[in-house]
Amino acid sequence: MKRQGNVIPFFKASACGNDFLIIDGQYAPSNLANVSRQLCDRHEGVGADGVEWLYPSAHADVKARLINADGSEAEISGNGTRCVAAYIHSEQMKEQISISTSAGVKTCVLTSRSDTQYEFEIEMGEPKVSDEFSIKLSDREVSGIPVSMGNPHYVVFVGEFPGEWQAEGAEIQRFPIFPQGVNVEFVKVIDAHNIQVRFFERGVGETRSSGTGSCASAVAAIFTKQAASPVRVHAAGGMQTVRWESKVFLRGSAHLICSGEFFLRT
């Protein structure tokens, strides 16, 4: 087949159902947001929650720049960072991988591997927890706890997940009190070491999982004494484990799905 236009080679990986494209930064075009949207489109592109563009780093094994599915840039994704670590290990066989993100350098330690299936634990840094505050939505008032994991989160505890939780998440994100946008988590506490979470993320919407969202949810549950470290975070895409000492550590799976070439539309 004769190829038309530019070609961008990619790897695709998933961490608990949160999927990402991993692309060498040498292929990054000037219109990065537009091309990332094309790549992430699930009907006209490859399909993903975001693109991790990789560049050389003087302070880490690699620098990862995350562009969300809508073309916006995010500071970090815990799941995306694990996907990058899986890719780097497949190329270099390193068992400890440092990744520079806009939220700092994160070190991923390989804990197990079977073929293209990986498990890593990442040191996610120190969380910042702020005072709980309420937001009046169109049909009810919700109360949430702001948590920063290098990116912003608003954690709402629920007895049961609202039937329209996605619409509520979108409405919360539109509030001007979040000038940089916010990731919204709805959290149901099961017991002292298990929580269930639904995620509505900036630039993506509903996702099957979130690494930083799992951290923020576990931290909020521990902070409010509804849970104790370690916390197993259960979501539609799978389970991750968060432990909070002085810093937060996130453990979870990642697997490489495929590689290919994207024919860039001009």
Question: Tell me: the pLDDT tens digits for 59-83?
Answer: 999 999 999 999 999 999 999 999 9
Confidence of residue 5 (pLDDT cuts 50, 70, 90): low
Q: What percent of the chain has pLDDT over 90?
A: 96
Q: Are residues 105 and 138 in the same domain?
A: no
What CA–CA distance (Å, rounded) separates 230 from 250?
A: 10
Residues 86 and 137 in one domain: no
53 and 64 belong to one structural domain: yes
pLDDT at 47: 98
Residues in the chain, overall count: 266
C-alpha to C-alpha distance for 118 and 215, rounded to whole angstroms:
19
pLDDT at 2 over 50: no
Write down the pLDDT at residue 1. 40
pLDDT at 67: 98
The helix (H) or strand (E) run that includes residue 220 is: helix 211-223
Residues 229, 186 share a domain: yes
For residues 25 and 117, state if they share a domain: yes
Number of domains in the chain: 2
Let me know if residue 50 belongs to a domain: yes
Compute the C-alpha angle 248/254/258, nearest 5°: 150
**Residues 60 and 105 sit within 8 Å (Cβ to Cβ):** yes
Q: Which tens digit of pLDDT belongs to each residue from 165-202?
A: 999 999 999 999 999 999 999 999 999 999 999 999 99
Q: What tokens does 88 get?
A: 């780097």
**Domain match, 105 and 145 both:** no
Same domain, residue pair 170 and 84: no
Residues 18 and 73 in one domain: yes
User: Are 207 and 164 in a shared domain?
Assistant: yes
Residue 118 sits in the same domain as residue 135:
no
**49 within 8 A of 84, measured Cβ to Cβ:** no
Q: 136-167 burial by CB neighbour count: b if 16+ within 10 A, else e?
A: eeeeeebebbbbbbbbbbbbbbeeeebeebee
Task: Assess contact for 39 and 8: CB atoms under 8 A.
Answer: yes
Do residues 238 and 256 both lie within one domain? no
Within a domain: residue 112?
A: yes
Residue 1 lies in a domain: no
One domain, residues 201 and 218: yes
User: What does the pLDDT average to over 36-41?
Assistant: 98
Residue type, 259: S
Burial tier of 230 (Cβ tally within 10 Å: 0-12, 13-18, 19+): middle
Is 2 a domain residue?
no
Q: Are 209 and 77 in contact (CB under 8 A)?
A: no
Domain extent for 114: 7-125+252-263
What pLDDT, on the 0 to 100 scale, is given for residue 265? Answer: 81
- Position 95 pLDDT exceeds 90: yes
Domain CATH number, residue 70: 3.10.310.10
What is the chain's mean pLDDT, rounded?
96
